[in-house]
Amino acid sequence: MSKIASPYLRIGLVWLAMMVIWLLLPILRDRFWGTAPGDYSLGGHIMSALLATALAVPVVVAARRVIDRRSVESLGLDMSPIAIRFFAIGALAFLLPAALGFAVVLGLGWAELVPLVPINEIVLFVPLLIVLVFLFEALPEELAFRGYIQGNLVPPLGYWGAIFAQAALFALWGAALWTITTGTLAFDRLVLFFFVALVLGIVRGVTGSVWTSIGLHVAFQTTAQLVLNSGRGHFAAQGIEMLQLIALGVVPFSLAALLTEVMKGRTKRSAVDER
């Protein structure tokens, strides 16, 4: 297959493929698992996660190898041991300020979280939720948007242009999916998706590794789903708006890029020391 010269056409094809795949996911999940539309089940969640990675990752890999004629590693998906450090940097860049945000919101009584099941049951569920978030959201979305799309936008638009453009495309993708599946246009989701993608793009750019944005994405989604997903019945939450705005939003996402820069510098020094 001949290389498609226009980066915008290549990006458009991957963006469209991601749209089609995410529209197909609930249909395939319900058919294979038998979940009723709109109902949550752990089995259905597992099926969706497996399908998301099984469908989306090969598409991005094929686009990189066949259309771009470049290696998968050039997407920022280095498989060396340093990838673990970059993943940890991304996760900590969210978790550390999020812990501060939760402490402030809960400590001041702006919100309340009440466990509905024993704590050990919640703790045992967290590793499974991390895997599900990794397969369902973090890996396929980061590989496509912060890996393929952001990487292909750097040559024509430059470093910051690529970050802002991928954020706009991610927001458009998320808002379009919401509109198609619910029949309503939610401007707040468009804004939310844009600023989340903007920070994810920045931390990916700071380290040059998509593993950093994957780590942040996993930490964010795992925390949000654990606390806010009432369908699982782990927590009863009051003051959800404050939790979303401050503990899961403003505090961690305003500090994530700075913390990534600081931890990246320490990682470089540590790598030199190990030599």
Tell whether the torsion through CA atoms of 247, 96, 142 and 42 is positive or negative. negative
Residue 113 half-sphere exposure, CB side, CA atoms within 13 Å?
A: 25
State the pTM of this model: 0.92
Q: Please compute the mean of the pLDDT values over residues 266-272 and round it to a whole number.
A: 45
Estimate the share of the chain in helix, then strand, then coil, as percent rounded to the nearest 5. 80, 5, 15
- Give the angle subtended at the CA of 112 by the CAs of 110 and 114, to the nearest 5°: 175
Question: What per-residue confidence (pLDDT) applies to 174?
Answer: 93
Confidence of residue 2 (pLDDT cuts 50, 70, 90): low
Kindly state the tokens that stand for 34.
């038998």
> How far apart, in whole angstroms, are the C-alpha atoms of residue 16 and residue 150?
15
For 145, the 3-state DSSP assignment is helix
- Where residue 169 falls among pLDDT bands split at 50, 70, 90? very high
Q: Does residue 176 carry a pLDDT above 80? A: yes
Percent of the chain with pLDDT over 70: 93
> How many Cβ atoms from other residues are within 10 Å of residue 155's Cβ?
9
Q: Give me the residue label for tokens 């799309």.
A: 149
Q: What's the rounded Cα separation, in Å, for the pair 77 and 208?
A: 9
Amino acid residing at 210:
V
Exposure string (b/e) for 13-33, b if CB count within 10 Å is 16 or more? ebbebbeebbeebbebbbeee
**What pLDDT does 205 receive?**
96
Distance CA 264, CA 208 (A): 10
H or E, element range at 263:
helix 251-274
Write the Ramachandran bin of 71: left for phi over 0, alpha for psi from -120 to 50, otherwise beta: beta
CA distance 90 to 207: 10
Say what the pLDDT of residue 181 is: 84
Q: Which residues are within 8 A (CB) of 61 and not within 5 positions of it... i.e. 6 or more apart?
A: 72
Here the tokens at position 231 are 């369908």
Mind listing the pLDDT tens digit for each residue in 142-160?
Answer: 999 999 999 999 999 999 9
Top-confidence residue, 169 or 39: 169
Q: What is d(CA 162, CA 149) in angstroms, rounded to the nearest whole number?
A: 8
Q: What pLDDT does residue 171 have? A: 96
Taking 50 as the threshold, does the pLDDT of residue 274 lie above it?
Answer: no
Report CA dihedral (103, 107, 110, 113) to the nearest 10 degrees: 70
Q: C-alpha angle with apex 96: 95 to 101, nearest 5 degrees?
A: 90
Mean pLDDT of 211-239: 91
What confidence tens digit (pLDDT) does each residue in 11-62 have? Answer: 999 999 999 999 999 988 888 776 655 567 888 889 999 999 999 999 999 9
Q: Give dist(CA 246, CA 241) in Å, integer.
A: 8
Q: What is the mean pLDDT of residues 72-98?
A: 93
- Number of DSSP helices (H) and strands (E) in the chain, helices first: 10, 2
Q: What is the CA radius of gyration of the chain?
A: 19
pLDDT above 50 (res 269):
no
Give the Cβ contact number of residue 37 at 10 Å: 9
38 vs 179, higher pLDDT: 179
The reported pLDDT for the residue numbered 272 is 29
What residues contact 155, with CB distance under 8 A and at least 6 apart?
Answer: 7
